[in-house]
Amino acid sequence: MEATTTHSYLALLHDAQVSPALFGRLLAKFDSIAGIRNQSLTELLSQGLNKTQAEVFKRRRLYLKSGKTASLLAKWADNPKNSIILFESPDYPNRLRHIPVPPPLLFARGNLSILHTPTLAIVGSRRSSSYGNRTSLWMAHELARLGLTICSGLAQGIDGEAHRGALQAQGNTIAVVATGLDSVYPAVHKTLSEQIAEDGLLLSEFPMNTSPRRENFPRRNRIISGLSLGVLVVEANLRSGSLITARQALEQNRDVFVVPGQINSEQSRGCHWLIKQGAPLVESPEEILESYPELGLVKPDVQDFEKTKEPGNKGINKIQQAILETIGTDQVLLDYLLKETGIPMARLATELMTLEIEGIISAQGGRYFRSLNEI
């Protein structure tokens, strides 16, 4: 799309600071950004713009008021992997186009074709448990392996594990962020964001030089759910932003799925509340795929979290099997294993070491849990 059109979008949205909702009303009335641009100041004022907004837009000052921001955008746009997707562009994702307040413009880095693939969002707590992390990684891996694109918000915890699971499966993933694409938030995900830009897609409605702001995250969440057929909530407390995403998904007529957690876990209270409100409880990728038979995706080889990467190909003996059954999907202390299995300490230590070397279990902080490293 021509540069003049892009500049007009930027001038109206970011220089004049017109909200996405007002932009949508203007676009619906005047058909295109060119149609909006051709209106008189009086007409623009009658449609809800204030005098400053109308004058900034009509005078078409240098877009993105800050010279620094405009310079960053110009440099950023020189990279062939970077794109600006306008609402009027054929690259704009169709599912997102029909949500109540779609973003008029998207900044993207990576493979744009991913925007037109069947997508599932996986969201959850930033302060996730090892159980939540492993479940997110596993679900994302299996669903991506079978052809679903995994969408999340690049946050620490559940989001990050969902992106990693999709990448490990050599599948597609989309990270929707609440900052400009010239920065990475959180900073610890710099390497992960680079991997996503290389093998997936980074997406934002915010221009260069936009730092993390509390009010931008709910706006980001509506895009995550809007791009997706449904949203899977893995772990969330009652005040979690993931519940906002779930609510937005329902408002957008999307499905909401929930993974149950431990009844005494604060990070499971939001999930259990959603289940009580009628959201379907899921325990395997297969249950999600069953909701979308029209996609024709192959069902997973593994239908149960308990069965992931277990005996058969590792020659696991009966004692090791008893240890794995005792650990289950939890993380447990050595004393607990000693008490519950009745295995002598020397033998238990030997078998734990063997399982850890094989990559079937992992140990952290004195606790043992089943590993998904071999997925």
Q: Which CATH number belongs to the domain containing residue 126 in this structure?
A: 3.40.50.450
Residue-wise pLDDT tens digits, 205-249: 998 888 999 899 999 999 999 999 999 999 998 888 899 999 999
Residue 266 is assigned to a structural domain of this protein = yes
The residue to which tokens 């562009």 are assigned: 89
Tell me: do 150 and 278 sit in the same domain.
yes
Tell me: do 261 and 157 sit in the same domain.
yes
Residue ending a domain, among 284, 304, 324, is: 304
Quickly count: other Cβ atoms within 10 Å of residue 227's Cβ. Answer: 25
pTM score above 0.85: no
Question: What's the confidence (pLDDT) of residue 209?
Answer: 82
Question: What's the confidence (pLDDT) of residue 121?
Answer: 98
Number of domains composing the chain: 3
Residue ending a domain, among 258, 275, 304, is: 304
Tell me: do 271 and 362 sit in the same domain.
no
If you ran DSSP here, which 8-state letter would residue 170 be given?
A: T
- Cα distances from 17 to residues 11, 127, 302, 352, in angstroms, run 8, 34, 49, 59
Tell me: do 232 and 365 sit in the same domain.
no
* Tens digit of pLDDT at every position of the chain (375 positions): 566 788 888 888 888 889 999 999 999 999 999 899 889 989 999 999 998 888 888 775 545 555 556 666 767 777 888 999 999 999 999 999 999 999 999 999 999 999 999 999 999 999 898 888 888 998 999 999 999 999 999 999 999 999 999 999 999 999 999 999 988 999 999 999 999 999 999 999 998 888 999 899 999 999 999 999 999 999 998 888 899 999 999 999 999 999 998 888 888 899 999 999 999 999 889 899 999 999 988 654 433 333 333 334 456 888 888 898 888 877 888 888 888 888 888 788 878 888 887 888 888 777 888 876 443
Residue ending a domain, among 260, 285, 304, is: 304
Tell me: do 35 and 176 sit in the same domain.
no
Question: What's the confidence (pLDDT) of residue 339?
Answer: 85
Tell me: do 118 and 180 sit in the same domain.
yes
Residue 362 is assigned to a structural domain of this protein = yes
Residue 91 is assigned to a structural domain of this protein = no
Length of the chain counted residue by residue: 375
Tell me: do 355 and 283 sit in the same domain.
no
Look at residues 130, 7, 158 and name the one whose alpha carbon lies nearest to residue 74. Answer: 7
Look at residues 151, 154, 156, 211 and name the one whose alpha carbon lies nearest to residue 179. Answer: 211
- Residue range of the domain that includes 47: 1-65
Question: What's the confidence (pLDDT) of residue 372?
Answer: 62
Tell me: do 153 and 285 sit in the same domain.
yes
Sheet with 82-86, strands from edge to edge, namely 82-86, 105-110, 201-204, 173-176, 149-152, 119-123, 230-233, 255-258
Residue 286 is assigned to a structural domain of this protein = yes
Question: What's the confidence (pLDDT) of residue 19?
Answer: 92
CA distance 115 to 112: 6
Tell me: do 136 and 189 sit in the same domain.
yes
Tell me: do 5 and 136 sit in the same domain.
no
Look at residues 295, 308, 277 and name the one whose alpha carbon lies nearest to residue 134. Answer: 308
- CA torsion through residues 250, 273, 266, 131, sign: negative
Residue 93 is assigned to a structural domain of this protein = no
Residue 88 is assigned to a structural domain of this protein = no
Residue 85 is assigned to a structural domain of this protein = no
Tell me: do 121 and 256 sit in the same domain.
yes
Question: What's the confidence (pLDDT) of residue 27?
Answer: 92
CATH number of 351's domain: 1.10.10.10
Q: What are the residue ranges of helices labelled H in the chain? A: 3-10, 20-30, 33-37, 41-46, 51-59, 67-77, 94-97, 130-145, 158-168, 190-199, 216-226, 241-251, 269-276, 285-289, 318-327, 334-341, 345-357
Question: What's the confidence (pLDDT) of residue 123?
Answer: 97
Tell me: do 59 and 177 sit in the same domain.
no
Residue 163 is assigned to a structural domain of this protein = yes
